[in-house]
Structure formats: C-alpha cells, structure tokens
Structure 1
Amino acid sequence: MPMTTAISPEPSRVTAPISDFDPYAEDVLNNPYPHYEVLRELGPIVYLQRYGAYAIARHEEIDAVLRDHVTYCSSAGVGLANFHTEDPWRKPSLILEADPPMHGRTRKVVAGLLAPASINKLRATFEREAELLVDRVLDMGHLDAMPELCAAYPLKVFGDAVGVPAQN
C-alpha cells in the first residue's frame, strides 16, 4: 500500500498520510483484516487519494468520531457520497444517516424491535421469508441484488414485524 505524507488538498488542511488503498478492491472485500491492519499502521487518519476521502481504522479515533456529532455529521451520508452536495444514490436511512436529536428519537422507537430477545422470536419467520425470497429470485432467472434482495428482504421482514403492510 504505497503511502506518502502531505497536506491534503481538502479545505480542512489536515496533515495525513496519503494512500492509494482501495477498500472496495476484491482482495480487500474477500479478506479485509490484513488491509485494515496496514491502514491502522499508517496513522490515526489516512487520506484515500483514489476517493478524495479520509479513512480512520483505529478504535480510539473511530470512537471519538462516532461520539462527536457536532464535528462529524451522519446526515450527509456514511459512505463516499455527500448527500448534502449530491443526489443520494439511495434513500437515506432513518437511523444511520440521522444526527441528534432525530437519531436518538428514531433509535428509541426501534430499539425494542432490534433487541436480541425480539429478533430471536422472529428468527423462524426471517428464515422462512429469506427462503421464499431466494426461491422467487431463482424463478426469475436473473437478479438485480439491490432492489430484489438488499431492499426487499428487510422491508418485508421488518415491515411485517411492526405491522406495516407491504406495498404491491
């Protein structure tokens, strides 16, 4: 993972190692842990030149970012896209891409549903719905994973769990 140290071209003027690390490369996706270790060794913050974004991989810094909603906002998106300056590629999450106080209110509403005891009661239903969804996709003979699996499954099982009727 080649690296140099420079002042970032970003307005914040953070001095950080610059890396060509690609967290979306196939070898990283197949086994991310050795790559994360290298990223941690580079420093507390690393500028990913390929994406024009900063990365942090150490627990202490991640914890600080997650606790500081004033400096770091989630509502702009938690990936590479900035939902404040460009059109989101998907609808923002009500929990993940929400800042206080909205995050806390939303989290409180769904906390009971997501508690281990609640999820365990729904396990058989979740498994049955997953099997039915896979059967439907196999019958179609093709797959667009985002709408047909990644969006369809949680909308179905969590919608059913909280009594929200499915849209047809």
Structure 2
Amino acid sequence: MSPTAPTYRPDVYATGAILDPYPHYRRMRELGPVVWLPRQRAHAVVHHAPCKEVLLADDRFRSERGVALNPVANRLSRGTTLNSDDADHERRRRLLASRLTPKALRSMREEVDRRADAVVEAAVSRGEVDGVGARVGSTSCPGRGRPSTAWARRTRGRSAPHRGPCA
C-alpha cells in the first residue's frame, strides 16, 4: 500500500472497466490527484496539473525502462520516443517532429483515407473488427515504403509490437 496516496481497489483493467472507464476515472479523481492501484502496484496520477508536473519532471520520473504496466509491452517498446529520456528522447523527438507536422500529414491524407476505407469495408463484410489484425496486415507505411524484412520476420504470425516499420 502507498503511504501517501489513497488506494483505489477496483480493477481498472477488468472488462467492465475497460468498456466503461469513466465512472472509475471520476471515483479516482474524487480520491485525490494521485491514487494507488494495488492490483497493478502502481500510482495513477489522475488530475491534470499533477500529471503535467510528472511528465515535465523527467529528472525524477524516468521512461527508459518503460511506462506500461506490462513488462512485455515495456520490453517491446524499448528504443522508442515514448520510452526514452534526456538527449536520447530529444534526438528521437526531433526525428519524428518533421513527419508529424500538419503539412507532412496532409501529403498522406488520400492514402490513409483509402486504407481506412478498405479496413472499414472489410470489417463490415466480416461483421467484426480486429484493429490489431488490420494493422499487422498493412504492408507498408504511407511515404515510407515497405517494412523491413527483419521487422516482417519478427512479427510473422503474432501481433506486431507498437514500434513497427512506421515507428
């Protein structure tokens, strides 16, 4: 138990909580700016100002070992902008920034719209949506060409890590 934060005992990863998280968010916020989640053995910062403070205090709250509550996700996201700090984070962020400007994204709009329409049409015809399968099935990234052979070998037959060929 955390000695400094109130404890929130409901499982925020239970199916019901995932399908309707807002009552949980409200109850956590009512308890205070930070709550202890005993099932995850982690603190959750649930008010805006303290959350912003934590995000800006990268000297005390480090990201390089992961930010997820799942060790597999943390391992798979090593080397990404999200899981990096200091000069490494700045370097990665600078590399991505030019690709995420409105101007850069505008050049991909038609291709992204075309692909999104195809995913929706396929889901409607199947009667189900599998966002992970749709992402894994993508063969290239707009403006980036085809994924590397190494990436394709690493992800064949299983869900792709969130840092695939477009990361």
Q: Same fold (TM over 0.5)?
A: yes
Aligned residues: 149
Q: 3-state DSSP class of the match of 1:46?
A: strand
- Deviations along 1:69-125, one digit per CA (max 9) or x if unpaired, are 111111121111358xx972x243521111111111111111121112322321211
User: Does the Cα contact within 8 Å between 1:76 and 1:82 map onto a contact in 2?
Assistant: no
1:81 aligned to 2:70?
yes
Q: Are 2:134 and 1:149 aligned? A: yes
For the residues of structure 1 that align with 2:80 and 2:136, how far apart are their CA atoms? 14
1:16 is paired with a residue whose SS is coil
Q: For residues 87 and 73 of structure 1, what CA distance do their matches in structure 2 show?
A: 13
Partner in structure 1 of residue 19 of structure 2: 30
Q: Deviations over 1:40-65 (max 9, x none)?
A: 11112111011111111101110011
DSSP 3-state at the match of 2:43: strand
- Structure 1 residues 1-168: aligned runs within 5 Å: 8=2, 14-81=3-70, 88=75, 90-92=76-78, 94-132=80-118, 146=132, 148-151=133-136, 153=138, 156-157=140-141, 160-161=142-143, 163-167=144-148
Contact kept, 8 Å, 1:16 with 1:46, in 2: the verdict is yes
Contact 1:45 1:56 in 2 (8 A): yes
Instruction: Name the structure where strand makes up a greater proportion of residues.
Output: 1
Q: Residues 77 and 83 of structure 2 are in contact (CA less than 8 Å); yes or no, is this contact kept in structure 1? A: no
Q: RMSD over aligned Cα, in angstroms?
A: 3.2
* C-alpha contact (below 8 Å) 2:12/2:18 kept by paired residues: yes
Cα distance in structure 2, aligned partners of 1:27 and 1:39: 16
Gaps in structure 2 of 5+ consecutive residues: 150-167
Distance (Å, rounded) in 2 between the aligned partners of 1:97 and 1:87: 8
TM-score normalised by the chain length of structure 1: 0.70
Q: Is the 8 A contact 1:39 1:57 kept in 2?
A: yes
- Equivalent position SS for 2:6: strand
Percent of aligned pairs sharing the same letter: 28
| Normalised TM-score (structure 2) | 0.70
